[in-house]
Structure 1
């Protein structure tokens, strides 16, 4: 299987021509770093701030999503593509654009998603559980957000988050293999358009396909290794992980009224379905409870459905 990003790309992020952008992301708590196929995405408030793609060895193009541009003032518009980044000096120029791009995205968010939008909160979950302060004690790490692909010939899938369960107790942290793959579904505030049974049915179809499941595990192991090398995920230095056979399905219903009649009824009905019966035979299905008003994921605050 082809690598997510090349070794030279990783080197340039660590200590080559892109090292300043990595340092900037680490210093800015509003930004989230994700690894995609042959490129990286830096997110702000759930939206793509900058995409950096490897054109050839040690040469990169950076892209900004022009759909976020709301200004008619051409002087206020960031150019769509910054080409031929091959030095720290050019990376510094790219970094100079970031405050302006963030401002444009803020304007867009205010017009289109005044509540921030669900994707923003997915990135908060990832940022909190992967950060040095929380990550030391969290039992879960978020490796990818909005993992997508083909479920079958007629349908695609999109999983909100893919994580790794690595319990925080000292004995478990000594063991970096036999970890649990975690597929996470999240709904923030608005619940009505979410169907837990349908979502779980897609998960079941996915994880019972050995080819798809093995590919996901390989990709997540590689992403975890790269992020650990870059100091973005525990233990914040180079580590290789491996998975055991256990899989967890975790649902996060954030900022929901605990007396939400439809949510509670849907969970109750879900327990009675064939989908639940089949899925629970091969995976642990859990609900996340609040971590003293934060988004840290701790095993003792999860309940089985």
Structure 2
């Protein structure tokens, strides 16, 4: 099993650890003569890849798995170590799973290996699919780097953020299109993604994750610290040209209440279990009058572009699920849980 499939969390339970890169690391990526600039250029030409900022290193994701880890090993960030997890497999074109990058030629060798690294990961995921992780990356791509990204209301700052016992599928910035020209006011959104109805229950199911997320956000100082993490990441991604947005303002920490957003991919319209689980949620804990709002993302016909107008509260979403189930049955469909 590749080690990156379970990302390492920060070991303490104090304030959330920052993930923004050092200025030297950013310059190595951003500047024309920077050692890692060819990597950033390659990345921008291949939207099957996603760059996750991790403080002292970056993860280059492919289909939700870490294609390569690029770690800074000097204060000036003029020396790096690139690593590929050998558990994904071996290929003659990839003679080593880790090597030092201190010259342009060293990096070029890794760039030429990327198609072979992808092939190994494709074969691995054919045997051990990770749809939820893969679709997280797709959500990030559609809202950050696609042709419709500037029209959405949400931008993904990070995926698979882990700290202590807390796990967040995605950290996002809700910055409404109508506000961007005049203000940098935004709201933190913590997004939990579930792929298929089978993921709605169990240790990491809907109810368990909802409770854990709400408890984490109630920890004193947690919201501001987590918002700062998301803001720093969003600002650096924007600076590096990894967010397709016209108003390239530097955001500052907002005190607005955060959103918990559930994104339920490929729910079966005839399945009754989702409605049953929603009925068990305490509505009084999530409302405009509380300090946390619970939303459920609904696509605009199809796709994963996220808009405020397509965010339903618990009551609205429960009604939608019930109506969808009724419509499915009226069309002669047989529920999968019958």
Q: Could you tell me the TM-score, scaled by structure 1's length? A: 0.88
| CA distance in structure 2 between the aligned counterparts of 1:147 and 1:201, rounded to whole angstroms | 17
Q: CA deviation at 1:80?
A: 1.4
Match of 1:64 in 2: 84
- What pairs up with 1:83-232 in 2 under 5 angstroms? 83=100, 85-113=101-129, 116-150=130-164, 156-169=165-178, 172-189=179-196, 190-191=198-199, 192-193=201-202, 194-232=204-242
RMSD: 1.9
Alignment check: 8 A CA contact 1:229 1:237 kept: no
Q: CA deviation at 1:277?
A: 2.4
**How many residues end up aligned between the 2 structures?**
288
Q: CA deviation at 1:239?
A: 3.1
Change (3 A) 1:78 1:254: farther
| CA distance in structure 2 between the aligned counterparts of 1:107 and 1:236, rounded to whole angstroms | 38
Instruction: Indicate the SS of the match to 1:246.
Output: coil
Change (3 A) 1:296 1:107: same
Q: CA deviation at 1:37?
A: 2.4
Alignment check: 8 A CA contact 1:78 1:101 kept: no
| CA distance in structure 2 between the aligned counterparts of 1:14 and 1:66, rounded to whole angstroms | 29
CA deviations over 1:82-139 (Å, ceiling 9, x no partner)? 21x23333222210111111111111111111xx521000000001000151211000
Residue 301 (str. 1) matches residue 334 (str. 2): no
| CA distance in structure 2 between the aligned counterparts of 1:37 and 1:14, rounded to whole angstroms | 16
| CA distance in structure 1 between the aligned counterparts of 2:19 and 2:170, rounded to whole angstroms | 20
- Higher relative strand content: 1
| CA distance in structure 1 between the aligned counterparts of 2:183 and 2:311, rounded to whole angstroms | 22
Residue 265 (str. 1) matches residue 276 (str. 2): yes
Instruction: Indicate the SS of the match to 2:148.
Output: helix
Alignment check: 8 A CA contact 1:230 1:237 kept: no
Match of 2:57 in 1: 39
| CA distance in structure 1 between the aligned counterparts of 2:188 and 2:55, rounded to whole angstroms | 20
Match of 2:284 in 1: 277
Residue 10 (str. 1) matches residue 26 (str. 2): yes
| CA distance in structure 2 between the aligned counterparts of 1:77 and 1:162, rounded to whole angstroms | 33
Change (3 A) 1:255 1:104: same
Residue 48 (str. 1) matches residue 31 (str. 2): no
Q: CA deviation at 1:175?
A: 4.2
Of 295-304 and 276-285, deviating more is 276-285
| CA distance in structure 2 between the aligned counterparts of 1:291 and 1:92, rounded to whole angstroms | 41
Alignment check: 8 A CA contact 1:65 1:80 kept: yes
Instruction: Indicate the SS of the match to 1:136.
Output: helix
Gapped runs of 5+ residues in structure 1? 151-155
CA deviations over 1:230-280 (Å, ceiling 9, x no partner)? 00114368531122322111110011112321111111221xx2xx42344
Alignment check: 8 A CA contact 2:94 2:113 kept: no
| CA distance in structure 2 between the aligned counterparts of 1:301 and 1:3, rounded to whole angstroms | 30
Change (3 A) 1:236 1:5: farther
| CA distance in structure 2 between the aligned counterparts of 1:61 and 1:198, rounded to whole angstroms | 38
| CA distance in structure 2 between the aligned counterparts of 1:2 and 1:253, rounded to whole angstroms | 28
